[in-house]
Amino acid sequence: MGLLTIGAFAKASRLSPKALRLYDELGLLSPARVDPVSSYRLYAPEQLDQARLVAWLRRLGMPLARIEHILTLSTVAAAREVRVYWAQVEADTAARRDLATFLIDHLSWKDSAMSPTAIPLEIRYAALSDTGLVRENNQDTVHAGARLLAVADGFGPQGAPASAAAVNALKRLETDHVPAGGLLDVLAEAIEQAEQAVHGLAGTGPSSEEVGTTLTAMFWTGSQLALVHVGDSRVYLLRAGQLFQITQDHTMVQSMVDEGRLSPEEAASHPQRSLLVRALGSGADTTHDMRLHDAQRDDRYLLCSDGLSSVVPAQNIRRVLAEIGEPEQAVRELIALANGAGGPDNVSCVIADVTEPRQEP
| More confident: 273 or 226 | 226
Q: What contacts 96, CB < 8 A, 6 or more positions away?
A: none
Q: Which of 299, 164, 162, 149 is nearest to 216 (CA)?
A: 149
Count of alpha carbons within 13 angstroms of residue 260, beta-carbon side? 10
Residues 134-147, mean pLDDT to the nearest whole number: 96
- The region of weakest confidence among 162-176, 177-191, 199-213, 288-302 is 199-213
How far is the C-alpha of 82 from the C-alpha of 320, rounded, in Å? 42
- DSSP codes, 316-351: HHHHHHHH--SHHHHHHHHHHHHHHTT--S-EEEEE
DSSP run (H or E) holding 300: strand 300-304
For 226, phi and psi rounded to 5 degrees?
-90, 125
Return the pLDDT at 308. Answer: 97
Closest Cα partner for 23 from 328, 111, 57, 38? 57
The whole model's pTM is what?
A: 0.70
How confident is the model over 68-97, as pLDDT tens digits?
A: 889 889 989 999 889 888 888 877 777 677
Question: Is pLDDT of 236 > 50?
Answer: yes
pLDDT for the residue 117: 40
Render pLDDT for 12-63 as a digit per residue (tens, 0 to 9): 888 888 888 888 888 888 899 998 888 889 999 989 988 888 888 888 888 8
Q: Per-residue pLDDT for 111 more than 60?
A: no
**For strand 242-245 and strand 234-239, is the pairing parallel, antiparallel, or unpaired?**
antiparallel
Task: List the helix and strand counts (H, then E) for the chain.
Answer: 12, 15
Report the pLDDT averaged over residues 136-165. 95
